[in-house]
Structure 1
Amino acid sequence: MTLPWHFTPLSGERVTLDLLRADDLDALSAIQGDPTTVRYMLYSARTRDEVATAIERDGAHDRLENSGDYVQPAIRDAAGRLVGTLYVKLASTDDRTAEIGWLLSPGERGKGYATEAAEIILRLAFEELGLHRVYAELDPRNEASAAVCERLGMRHEAHLRENLWLKGEWVDTAVYAILEQDYRRRRI
């Protein structure tokens, strides 16, 4: 593996990933403060102050080196507007494994931004960092995120029934993953 890796902005055809910053507060508050938008997230709708704290915390994470390290960059459209966030965490350096996830503004869903942003991270993971496996854990009721996983070539590996007590109910977890060799086959 090629670590440590220090975050620098990453660009695709229509999106750029860069670190969260203080002027993202209004846009990110609209996303993370909406109960419908965060329905399938591990956290409930956040107040403006909680979002400000999250920006400060997550914006400071700009390095992947050890198991548990993460970056949570902003997903920006071609005009530079924040349309969502992406999450990548080194789950295990020994196993060369990372976790990935995304959250988009309701008005920006269905435009391919999550898929493009995740493709940028998969390219980084497999072509630069030398990871072996990247996975996503999500609520299987979140059909849009499951569809992103499938578009990325991730395989549905598991469906854990009622494994998590969240927001007053038992919820399931779906696990999707892609291996380095599967990623490389798709690139040919």
Structure 2
Amino acid sequence: MEIQTERLVLRPFEDKDFEDTRQIYTNPKVCKFLLEEPWTEGEARNKFQNKLEKASLTKESGYSIAVDYNGKVIGSMAIWYTEMRDTLEIGYVFSPNYGGRGLATEAVRAVLEYAFNELDVHRVQANLDARNAASEKLCRRVGMRKEAHFIQDFWSKGEWTDSFVFGMLRSDLN
């Protein structure tokens, strides 16, 4: 799958994307609300290899998507099927160096349109750390609605954290 938007190319990861991706995932600020710790130099290559291997979406395996802006990977997205019929979950990470330009919104909207129009899914959801205000704003900007707030439901990085679930149906796509 490759999606082209006005400014972006959303595509499978390639070997040439390693350094851009490593810079994103070794940044502690980027990883603050992720389930994983920042990548160490020793594990970066193996973590990146996992993204390379997820080059297409199947019912059993998610798809890792490179967000390419003028030949540079500025973000990483993933989609995967949940256990619920015709439902995808979406996740994303973007470099803060490219914030404030609407690029994350453009990328997420494009993946949502792809999910509903090409994959014919019924629902897309995003689960996020409730402290991640930027991610919450992004979900709202693309038309997702907050459907749940779970209190201290997830043990992450040594503490109990709250989670938000945002969802969208095909009929919500504008």
The answer to which of 146-155 and 49-58 deviates more is: 49-58
Is residue 114 of structure 2 the alignment partner of residue 129 of structure 1? no
Determine what percentage of the aligned residue pairs are the same residue: 33
Maintained 8 Å contact 2:13/2:55: no
Gaps of 5+ in 2: none
Runs of 4+ in structure 1 displaced over 6 angstroms? none
- The answer for the alignment partner of 1:50 in structure 2 is 43
Aligned-partner SS, 2:124: strand
- The answer for the alignment partner of 1:74 in structure 2 is 66
- Cα distance in 2 for partners of 1:49, 1:133 equals 38
Maintained 8 Å contact 1:21/1:55: no
Q: 1:146 aligns with which of 136, 148, 161?
A: 136
Count of residues paired in the alignment: 174
Q: 2:14 aligns with which of 18, 21, 31?
A: 21
Is residue 30 of structure 2 the alignment partner of residue 37 of structure 1? yes
The normalised TM-score by structure 2 is 0.94
- Cα distance in 1 for partners of 2:101, 2:91 equals 17
- Cα distance in 1 for partners of 2:132, 2:115 equals 24
Aligned-partner SS, 1:36: helix
Maintained 8 Å contact 1:25/1:48: no
> Cα RMSD between the aligned structures?
1.3
